Amino acid sequence: MSLKWDPGEVKKKSSLNAILKLLRIEHTLLDLPFTYAGMALTHYLITLREVVLATFAVIGLRIAGMTYNNIADADIDRKNPRTARRPLLTGDVSFRDAWILVALGSLIYFASAFFLSFYAFILSPILYIVIMTYPFAKRFHPFPHLHLGLSLALIVFGGAIATSGEYVNNLMEAIESVPWTYFFAVLFWGSGFDAIYSIMDEEFDKSMKLGSVAARFGSRGALMFSLANYIISSLFLLIAWRLYNLGLLTLASMIISIFIMFYQVASCFIDIKNVPKAFNLNLIVGVIVSICILIDLLL
């Protein structure tokens, strides 16, 4: 893979494939373990109803967020040779259909939050606003990666509220139920891998005066930023393991994930062409840890 690689490019000509590429459906599936881990780490009883509604909430939010991200960035993506083949730009998905997807995803998300609990519903705009404003972050500052990391971490937040909202007596108790150490582990992990991803658009972002650590500090600076984020994420992971009395399986998954994070950075320092491979490898980190947390707590 070259630095022209784009996970959103349409390669198979079909309406279904174009929509799946627009939504990055595989990333939606990777988000779900964060939700379930957030639910499990509250240590409240989890019901099937909560799992189903939380799943629909994540899917709805991903549909709305990813589609709106493509709409908001269309003018920028059209000028970028790496992203010019995305489905909205090739016409495989029309802007009308994209707006329908935004509305549908938003409806699914807020309806799911409403039926979960009062606290899930009143806190739902926080997740929505953060995720829907992500495409504008790079227009204002060089650290949009932290915004993306926050978007991922809020999925853990949402999972916790989905469960605790049924049991707590007030809003403060609901917020206190969130596994904050795991929240911050996910935040800095997400920020770290997005900084690596930004290297592919370093020159383009400079030419368009868009914010990213790669555009501001170069590819080496982006890798150092990523490394710093991964160190912080690793510390939060290990604190979470101790704080939540997790088992050896989770500890092993965290050690493997920490190794993968540092391997990514090292491989990109060796050869910058490894960025696409590093990005794809990184996607399994959160899944490994979240699934092992679930196994430790629920089995």
Question: What is the average per-residue pLDDT within 74-97?
Answer: 88
Q: Which of 101, 135, 168 is the last residue of a domain?
A: 168
The one-character DSSP state at 177 is T
* Contacts of range 246-253, beta carbons closer than 8 Å, 24 or more positions apart: 246/293, 246/296, 246/297, 247/296, 249/292, 249/295, 249/296, 250/289, 250/292, 250/293, 250/295, 250/296, 252/292, 253/288, 253/289, 253/291, 253/292, 253/293
Q: Is residue 173 part of a domain?
A: no
- 91 and 133: one domain? yes
Tell me: the pLDDT tens digits for 126-156?
Answer: 999 999 999 999 999 889 999 999 999 999 9
Question: What is the average per-residue pLDDT within 246-263?
Answer: 93
- 86 and 189: one domain? no
CATH no. for residue 76?
1.10.357.140
Q: Is residue 152 part of a domain?
A: yes
Which of 145, 150, 111 minimizes the C-alpha distance to 130? 150
Q: Which residues contact 101 (CB under 8 A, 6 or more apart)?
A: 19, 22, 23, 63, 64, 67
pLDDT above 50 (res 283):
yes
| pTM as predicted | 0.90
CA 262-158-17 angle, to 5 degrees, is 70
- 147 and 105: one domain? yes
Residue 227 is part of which domain span? 179-299
- 154 and 19: one domain? yes
- What is residue 215's three-state secondary structure? helix
299: pLDDT confidence band, cut at 50, 70 and 90?
Answer: confident
Question: What is the average per-residue pLDDT within 93-97?
Answer: 90
Question: What is the average per-residue pLDDT within 257-282?
Answer: 86
